């Protein structure tokens, strides 16, 4: 379980992670913090979460592949 708290504090499985502006990877999830805005990247879900202590912004990226046939 991941908890994002005010002041840039992050708990993963009830353990506090010490974050910096350099991304820190934990169980395939990347965490970083810059001026108390926590960034969480979940590459396997194509998802990024930004949390400023009050509001979480969630971005989910979907990629669609198309093929063009030429004869």
- Running along the chain, 71 residues long, what does each successive block of 10 average in pLDDT? 91 92 92 93 94 95 71 61
Q: Phi, psi at residue 57, to the nearest 5°?
A: -110, 125
User: How many other β-carbons are positioned within 10 Å of the β-carbon of residue 51?
Assistant: 20
Instruction: Give Cα 70 to chain centroid, integer Å.
Output: 40
pLDDT of residue 64: 67
pTM above 0.85, yes or no: no
User: How many other β-carbons are positioned within 10 Å of the β-carbon of residue 38?
Assistant: 23
pLDDT of residue 16: 94
pLDDT of residue 3: 94
- In the chain, domain spans: 2-60
């Amino acid at each position: 379980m991941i908890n994002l708290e005010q002041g840039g504090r992050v708990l993963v499985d009830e353990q506090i992670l010490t974050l910096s502006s350099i991304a820190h990877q934990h169980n395939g999830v990347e965490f970083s913090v810059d001026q108390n805005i926590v960034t969480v990247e979940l590459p396997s879900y194509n998802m990024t979460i930004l949390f400023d202590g009050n509001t979480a912004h969630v971005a989910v990226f979907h990629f669609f592949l198309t093929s063009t046939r030429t004869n």
